[in-house]
Amino acid sequence: MKILVLGGAGYIGSHTVYRLIESGNEVVVFDNLETGHIEAVHPKAKFYKGDLRNRSEIDSVFDKEKGIDAVIHFAANSLVGESMTNPLKYYDNNLNGTKVLLQSMVAHGIDKIVFSSTAATYGEPERTPILETDPTNPTNCYGETKKSMERMFYWVEKAHGLRYVSLRYFNACGAHISGKIGEAHNPETHLIPIILQAAQGTRDHISIFGTDYPTSDGTCIRDYIHVTDLAQAHILAVEYLMKGGKSDIFNLGNGVGFSVREVIEKAKEVTQKDIKVVEESRRSGDPAVLIASSDKAKTVLGWKPEYDDLGTIIKTAWKWHSTHPNGYSK
């Protein structure tokens, strides 16, 4: 297959590009490098620097790269906190960017897209595990824009026949098994990389945000899913669309929850480092428990997570962090 990966220099995008190339596919990457890293782009992928909001830049990729079978779309901003203080950035990049992309796809007759969505579309869940049919009431602007992007695909399919698969991830984590690429956000806000930075000494401590949640140990519970398993789900989703599958939405998680304290304990075990922990008050907008039901992805797409053990997930992340203490910077 020949696949265009938008945002292929970012965390989940770069792992998906690796997996696509490892499975023998041809990959074109388009990324504005605002949050992505050129070093994360697989050397066998063809790279275009460009911004989705600029119609001529994405048009020129479709004009030059003939025979693209499908698009995988990761090119969006994804920080919950930032989306609350700067919502218009999210409307501009996530929604406006996707609108321009769809205009260009329709004009070029490209009719299949796999989309990087999020559990943040659900908001505070009414029950766990969360099913795809559960209500979507985002509690932050990031989740709201991802939900609106899903709706944009829905209406564009009705008008233009473009088919889509939307993948709603829970907590993406871990790194490529080789340790060559991994998670490198700036600023970093995610739990596992922050714990590992505290383990390697590039950060003083890990703060636990809230110890008074209605959970067994008072800290939030999340469903951690390895980035390579997410990557594989994107490939299966493209194959599903290539075989004529209908547009659909799938959750991606392991269906098992771990508390913040449990993740810290597991990281201590894996790294054999003492990690300083500071208990703080709740971070705004954090639901107590988020756990996915991914039965639909398993049944319909044939998805089988390989790295579903938390210790293995942290080991792969540690391989990356311990060899790249400054991420992709030298």
Answer yes or no: 142 catalytic.
yes
Does 222 help bind ligand UFG (rule: CB under 6 A)? yes
170 interacts with ligand UFG by CB under 6 A: yes
Beta carbons within 8 Å of 234's beta carbon, 6+ residues apart: 16, 19, 72, 114, 116, 167
Query: How many Å is the Cα radius of gyration of the chain?
Result: 19
Q: Which of 77, 171, 197, 293 touches ligand UFG (CB under 6 A)?
A: 171
Could you give phi then psi for residue 12, rounded to 5 degrees? -75, -35
Chosen residue from 283, 300, 309, 322 binding ligand UFG by CB under 6 A: 283
Residue 91 DSSP symbol: I
Contact 156, 71 (CB under 8 A): no
Return phi, psi of residue 6, to 5°: -90, 125
Residue 214, preceding peptide bond in cis (omega within 30° of 0) = no
Interacting positions 251-280 with ligand UFG (CB under 6 A): 260
- 208 is a site residue for ligand UFG (CB under 6 A): yes
What is the smallest separation between the CB atom of 309 and ligand UFG, expressed in angstroms?
18
Q: Of these, 99, 108, 190, 298, which contacts ligand UFG (CB under 6 A)?
A: 190
Binding mask 130-169 for ligand UFG (x = CB under 6 A): ----------------------------------------
Helix 191-200 vs helix 310-323: crossing angle, to nearest 10:
50
Residue number, 95 or 194, with CB nearest to ligand UFG: 194
Instruction: Compute the Cα dihedral for 237, 116, 181, 97 and give only its sign.
Output: positive
- Residue 191 interacts with ligand UFG (CB under 6 A): yes or no: yes
> Given 142, 164, 213, 307, which residue is catalytic?
142
Task: Choose, by CB under 6 A, the member of 152, 194, 256, 300 that binds ligand UFG.
Answer: 194
Question: Could you tell me which of 124, 146, 140 has the C-alpha nearest to residue 85?
Answer: 140
Q: How many residues bind ligand UFG (CB under 6 A)?
A: 21
Candidate ranges 56-64, 82-90, 105-113, 201-209; the one touching ligand UFG (CB under 6 A): 201-209
Residue whose CB is less far from ligand UFG, 80 or 167? 80
In this structure, are residues 320 and 179 in contact, taking their beta carbons and an 8 Å threshold? yes
Q: Does position 2 bind ligand UFG by CB under 6 A?
A: no
User: Using an 8 Å Cβ cutoff, are 303 and 239 in contact?
Assistant: no
The C-alpha atoms of residue 96 and residue 83 are separated, in whole angstroms, by 15
| Active centre residues (catalytic) | 142
Q: Which residues bind ligand UFG (CB under 6 A)?
A: 78, 80, 118-120, 170-171, 189-191, 194, 206-209, 220, 222, 260, 283, 286, 290
